[in-house]
Amino acid sequence: MKFKSLTITLFASSIFLTIIICIWKILATLQGLSFTNLNFNLNLSLSLGLTVICILIGNRFNHILKILILSLSFTILYTFLNESSPLWFSVGIFLLILFFTNKLKKYDFKYLNQDFISEKIVFEFLSLFAIIFFALVILFPFYIMFVTSFKTQTALLINPLDLSIDFSKNIFEIFKSYFVIFKTYDFGRYILTSSYVSIGTVLITLLFAIPAAYAVARLNFFGKTFLSTSILIIYMFPAIVLVIPLYTVFSQLGLRNSVEGLLIVYTATTLPVAIYMLQGYFKSIPKEIEEAGLIDGQNWFGIIIKIIIPLSLPAIASVSLYVFMIAWNEFLFSLMFLDNPKTFTLSRAINHLTGDAETPRQYLMAGSVVVTLPILLIFIYFEKYLVSGLTAGSVKG
Amino acid sequence: MSTTLSKIEKRTAYTLLLPAVCLVFAIILFPIFANVWISFKEVGLKDIRIPEPRAKKIVKKLQNSNSELQIIYKLRNSSLIQDIREVRFSEKLPKNIEPINLDKRCEFKSQKVKCFFGNWEAGYRENFEIFVKDVNNNSININNVKSNKPELDGKSNNILLTVDFTLKNFKNVFMNNNFFDLLMTTFYFTFFGTLGAILFGIFAAQLVNQKFYGRTFMRSILLFPYVGPVVALAYTWTLLLDPNSGTINSLLVNYGVLEKPINLLGQKYLIINILGFELKLRLALTTVIFFEIWRYFPLAFLFILARLQAIPRDLYEAADVDGAGPFRKFFYITLPQITAILSILFMIRFIWNFNKFEDIFLLTGGASGTLTLPISVYQQGFAVSNIGMGSAVSIVIVLLLITFMIIYFKLIGKKANEI
């Protein structure tokens, strides 16, 4: 029993350590260090040794002193056995091992004698690994997007692995791509158009959705159940089946290439979900408050303006942010409806940039950063509202 | 009394609903029905422009006289395929100016030149001339004459409104040899995309449901792929996977995993040898599916996490007392508790992945074996310029969607309301 849990602990932890060292090495490669070998087996045996020593020592020694000494000696050994590397790389290794040995603190012989301990330990390292895995998989593309926008096409073609930013250049040189896309490619205008379309969509959607949601939530009328079920069904129909008829009709009416046409379409496609989300919230408002309003002589308009809206501000915030996100990120309709660079939204403009194969990729990535950053910042700042909007509306996507 | 009250209530309800219902009807329901109409017609992209008579006006001075001007109208039918009937022309002339030797088709009345040109066939062109002179033989200000614009008017058939129908589009869609392949690709993409997103969603939710340092940060970044704009993310991935100078390929070659770079988005098949069997993997399609999973697992994660947090703690405490390990707890407590939400998620995500257009379009454009039904709508309608065919494919999508929805509401529609 003890032997089994001991071996499992040893292998789980040392494989974990080896993998995070490998990930660190790969990330360092992207800073221009020329590593060509991960030395997986060598590092695995090193990690195994470290874990054995760590568990053998156990709690017989001052913990902080123990992990410092162990990490330092391991780092020196690692640097000695592997290829030469700059100081910052070794510092990174040192910190990783410090973190790792600190994690091993509670694993002594006593702890390993518990029931089901091997399963627990595997689970612990698995989740630790999963955290790193998910963080890496998600953030890596964003990192590449950001870093590429500061490089130049020629430098990337010569060495695609060197993504380091050269800080010795002056600030104008570093941010050159951003200056270029705003000056040459007119991104300032596209930001304005995109903001105009997104904010306009939010306002018009609210204007239409709040009364409709109130009617669905509160009033009795013929066809109510039919209406509330059809809202969800309508919502499931995708943009791609609407695109051809809308394209033909909008061409004949001359609404293509106009931001107003886009506004109408965005509003209509987000209306069902906005009504669905709002009516759910309106239903949770106690009826008595409205009745009090009725007695005070308010008509429905007054009730909506003076009672419903102030009480459901959180739900309205969720809906607004969700609709804003959809409108800001929308691509298909802007691709179909906008041909004239004067009316482009940001998404369409980036797509237009790729139409020319000569466009250097750092401009493309700078444009991508410009379109991604606002929505991510809004998301981080208003996360609570947007998450509840997403959960309610995430039948779509 | 009560009847009038309920009448007022009804009237209020309809007034409040009217704007929203009208808009949704015009932009969503009408196009779905219009698709049916268009799909039975032979319409190309060029046919949808309504032909109109056009005139370009050129004013010339005459050499021998200051009081006379020559006006040339370059008339044409804007359409190269359709006729225009009963073309009428009118233009107001400035004061004291009169036409001389006016064309037979025209007349001059109350300072206006009015002409009736009759029928213009497709691609019709004519240079039409008028000479004008000042009544008092003064010199004419040329800008006065230039500033007026002629008005033209004519009748034409709008090809979309005629009543000749054909079954050709549907015949082309179904008889096409690739139709089965198209359908299979769509289902393959949809099924594995959905399944993968849900599996990763379960992992991520299980992870964030534990306590660890940086948990809120983790929860925020897990949603990044879904919140970010698809255009930016798709192009970033294209760049990452680029065979010549993409980061992933360079890394793999650098560490000796691959001998030469592999075009993950441009290669249709990857042949793998396992124990002497040759396996053909749809490489580009698989890559696209992985992008799809990467982008949409956050949604599954969000749903599953909400459900996980609602599972009563005492269930786990009881399991602890019984001495169950973490894996057993997952399989015997967590999984049974989330099966309902998983089945709903699967259906909803299946429907949405089935409709996915942007992701595939931006990554591969439907090339190298990634052509799905939604991409096919775009290709038929706008790349091949056959609107009728595009609509027919849309109809196929709508029919399949309706089938899925019926299954969805039959199977779990009631459950969905309970959760």
Whether A114 and A82 have beta carbons less than 8 Å apart is answered as no
B 218-247: CB under 8 A from A: 218, 220-233, 235-237, 239-240, 244-247
B 30-89: CB under 8 A from A: 30-32, 34-35, 38, 43, 48-50
Alpha-carbon dihedral of residues A236, A241, A243, A245, nearest 10 degrees? Answer: -120
Whether B9 and A221 have beta carbons less than 8 Å apart is answered as yes
Give the one of A142, A216, A346 whose C-beta lies nearest to B224's C-beta: A142
For residue B275, name the pLDDT band (cuts at 50, 70, 90). confident
CB contact under 8 A, A390 and B223: yes
Q: How far is CA A119 from the centre of its chain?
A: 32
What is the three-state SS of B138-168? Answer: CCCCHHHHHHCCCEEEEECCCCCCCCCCCCH
pLDDT in tens, A241-281: 888 888 888 888 878 888 888 999 999 988 988 888 888 88
> B257 by DSSP, 3-state: which?
coil
CB contact under 8 A, A215 and B225: no
Work out how many CB contacts closer than 8 A connect A with B. Answer: 288
Residue A363's domain is classified under what CATH number? Answer: 1.10.3720.10
Q: Taking 80 as the threshold, does the pLDDT of residue B46 lie above it? A: no
Q: Are residues A12 and A129 in the same domain?
A: yes
Q: Which of A1-15, B22-36, B237-251 has the lowest mean pLDDT?
A: A1-15
Specify the pLDDT at position B418. Answer: 47
Question: Does the residue A218 lie in any domain?
Answer: yes
Residues of B in contact with A156 (CB under 8 A): 245
For residue B419, name the pLDDT band (cuts at 50, 70, 90). very low
Tell me which of A114, A141, A168 is where a domain ends. A141
Question: Does the residue A150 lie in any domain?
Answer: no
For residue B75, name the pLDDT band (cuts at 50, 70, 90). confident
Specify the pLDDT at position A397. Answer: 45
Q: How far is CA B328 from the centre of its chain?
A: 46
At residue A59, what are phi and psi to the nearest 5 degrees? -100, 20
Q: Taking 60 as the threshold, does the pLDDT of residue B2 lie above it? A: no
Q: Distance between CA A185 and CA A191 in Å, rounded?
A: 12
Q: Taking 80 as the threshold, does the pLDDT of residue B218 lie above it? A: yes
Q: Could you tell me which residue, B103 or B398, shows the higher pLDDT? A: B398
β-strands B125-134, B68-77: how paired?
antiparallel
CB contact under 8 A, B232 and A214: no
If phi over 0 gives left and psi between -120 and 50 gives alpha, with beta otherwise, what is residue A170?
beta
For A308, other C-beta atoms within 10 Å of its C-beta total 24
Q: Distance between CA A391 and CA A389 in Å, rounded?
A: 5
CB contact under 8 A, B226 and A396: no
Chain B nearest-CA residue for A388:
B302
Q: Are residues A192 and A316 in the same domain?
A: yes
With an 8 Å Cβ cutoff, is A126 touching chain B? Answer: no
Q: Distance between CA B371 and CA B189 in Å, rounded?
A: 10
CB contact under 8 A, A244 and B394: yes
Chain A nearest-CA residue for B239:
A361
For B247, other C-beta atoms within 10 Å of its C-beta total 23
pLDDT in tens, A109-157: 777 777 677 777 888 888 888 899 999 999 999 999 998 888 888 888 8
Which domains can be identified in chain B, with CATH numbers? 51-155 (2.60.40.290), 177-385 (1.10.3720.10)
- Which residues are registered as beta bridge partners of B76? B54, B125
If phi over 0 gives left and psi between -120 and 50 gives alpha, with beta otherwise, what is residue B123?
left
CB contact under 8 A, B233 and A372: yes
Residues of B in contact with A300 (CB under 8 A): 12, 16
Determine which helix (DSSP H) or strand (DSSP E) holds B24, and give its type and residue range: helix B2-24
Tell me which of A118, A141, A164 is where a domain ends. A141
Q: Are residues A128 and A194 in the same domain?
A: no
- The top-scoring range by mean pLDDT among A180-184, A352-356, B187-191 is B187-191
With an 8 Å Cβ cutoff, is B8 touching chain A? Answer: no
With an 8 Å Cβ cutoff, is B100 touching chain A? Answer: no
Chain A nearest CA to B385, separation (Å) = 11
Question: Does the residue A316 lie in any domain?
Answer: yes
Chain B nearest CA to A60, separation (Å) = 27
CB contact under 8 A, A387 and B302: yes
pLDDT in tens, B222-240: 999 999 999 999 999 998 8
A 277-296: CB under 8 A from B: none
Q: How far is CA B360 from the centre of its chain?
A: 13
Chain B nearest-CA residue for A240:
B374
Q: Are residues A94 and A38 in the same domain?
A: yes
Q: Are residues A131 and A210 in the same domain?
A: no
Give the one of A123, A214, A251 whose C-beta lies nearest to B16's C-beta: A214
Q: Give pTM, 2 decimals.
A: 0.86
Give the residue from B218, B365, B198 showing the smallest Cα distance to B293: B198
Tell me which of A88, A108, A141 is where a domain ends. A141
Angle B146-B152-B156 from CA coordinates, rounded to 5°: 155
Whether A22 and A154 have beta carbons less than 8 Å apart is answered as no
Q: Are residues A231 and A342 in the same domain?
A: yes
Whether B100 and B131 have beta carbons less than 8 Å apart is answered as yes
For B384, other C-beta atoms within 10 Å of its C-beta total 14
Chain B nearest CA to A229, separation (Å) = 11
With an 8 Å Cβ cutoff, is A245 touching chain B? Answer: yes
Question: Does the residue A169 lie in any domain?
Answer: no
Residues of B in contact with A234 (CB under 8 A): 24, 28-29
User: What is the average pLDDT across B166-170?
Assistant: 81
Chain B nearest-CA residue for A238:
B355
Identify the burial level of B2 via C-beta atoms within 10 angstroms of its C-beta, where 0-12 means exposed, 13-18 middle and 19 or more buried: exposed
Residue-wise DSSP of A178-215? HHHHHHTS-HHHHHHHHHHHHHHHHHHHHHHHHHHHHH
Amino acid at position A157, single letter: L
Q: Are residues A243 and A389 in the same domain?
A: yes
Determine which helix (DSSP H) or strand (DSSP E) holds B30, and give its type and residue range: helix B30-39
With an 8 Å Cβ cutoff, is A387 touching chain B? Answer: yes
Question: Does the residue A48 lie in any domain?
Answer: yes
- According to DSSP, residue B136 is labeled T
Q: Taking 90 as the threshold, does the pLDDT of residue B199 lie above it? A: yes
Give the one of A328, A332, A376 whose C-beta lies nearest to B358's C-beta: A332
Specify the pLDDT at position A200. Answer: 95
Give the residue from B111, B88, B84 showing the smallest Cα distance to B98: B111
Chain A nearest CA to B138, separation (Å) = 43
Q: Distance between CA B365 and CA A359 in Å, rounded?
A: 19
B 12-31: CB under 8 A from A: 12-14, 16-17, 19-21, 23-24, 26-31
Q: Are residues A137 and A190 in the same domain?
A: no
Which residue bears the tokens 């949603």? Answer: B223
Q: Which of A5-9, A335-339, B60-64, B411-415 has the lowest mean pLDDT?
A: B411-415
| Percent of chain B predicted with pLDDT > 70 | 97
Q: Are residues A378 and A256 in the same domain?
A: yes
Residue A109 is part of which domain span?
2-141
Question: Does the residue A325 lie in any domain?
Answer: yes
Chain B nearest CA to A310, separation (Å) = 19
Q: For CA atoms B309, B314, B317, B319, give the dihedral sign.
A: negative
Q: Taking 90 as the threshold, does the pLDDT of residue A339 lie above it? A: no
pLDDT in tens, A93-104: 888 888 888 887
CB contact under 8 A, A219 and B10: yes
Whether B13 and B47 have beta carbons less than 8 Å apart is answered as no
Q: Taking 90 as the threshold, does the pLDDT of residue B66 lie above it? A: no
Specify the pLDDT at position A327. Answer: 92
pLDDT in tens, A120-129: 788 888 888 8
Q: Taking 80 as the threshold, does the pLDDT of residue B140 lie above it? A: no
| Percent of chain A predicted with pLDDT > 90 | 17
Q: Distance between CA B82 and CA B47 in Å, rounded?
A: 8
User: What is the average pLDDT across B399-406?
Assistant: 90
Amino acid at position A95, single letter: L
Q: For CA atoms B312, B315, B316, B321, give the dihedral sign.
A: positive
Q: Which of A204-208, B214-218, B319-323 has the lowest mean pLDDT?
A: B319-323
Residue-wise DSSP of A333-392? HHHHH--SGGG--HHHHHHHHHHSTTS-HHHHHHHHHHHHHHHHHHHHHTHHHHHHHHHH
Q: Taking 90 as the threshold, does the pLDDT of residue A5 lie above it? A: no
Q: Taking 70 as the threshold, does the pLDDT of residue B369 lie above it? A: yes
pLDDT in tens, B169-180: 888 888 877 888
Q: Are residues A71 and A208 in the same domain?
A: no
CB contact under 8 A, B226 and A241: no
| A6, A115, A357 from B325: Cα distances, Å | 17, 9, 56
Q: Taking 90 as the threshold, does the pLDDT of residue A372 lie above it? A: yes
Chain B nearest-CA residue for A254:
B49
A 128-147: CB under 8 A from B: 130-131, 134-135, 137-139, 141-142, 144-145
Q: How far is CA A342 from the centre of its chain?
A: 30
Question: Does the residue A171 lie in any domain?
Answer: no
Residues of A in contact with B245 (CB under 8 A): 156-157, 160
Chain A nearest CA to B392, separation (Å) = 10
Specify the pLDDT at position B416. Answer: 52
Residues of A in contact with B49 (CB under 8 A): 251-252
B 374-403: CB under 8 A from A: 374, 377-378, 381-382, 387, 390-391, 394, 397-398, 401
Residues of A in contact with B34 (CB under 8 A): 245, 248-249
For B78, other C-beta atoms within 10 Å of its C-beta total 17
Q: Could you tell me which residue, B419 or A199, shows the higher pLDDT? A: A199
CB contact under 8 A, A134 and B222: yes
Q: Could you tell me which residue, B191 or B132, shows the higher pLDDT? A: B191
**What is the count of structural domains for chain A?**
2
| A22, A306, B141 from B66: Cα distances, Å | 89, 73, 9
Please give the mean pLDDT across all residues of chain B: 83
| A29, A41, A42, A95, A143 from A21: Cα distances, Å | 12, 12, 12, 11, 19
Within 8 A by CB and 6+ apart from A334, the residues are A262, A344, A345, A347, A348
Question: Does the residue A172 lie in any domain?
Answer: no
User: What is the average pLDDT across A176-186?
Assistant: 86
Within 8 A by CB and 6+ apart from A354, the residues are A364, B235
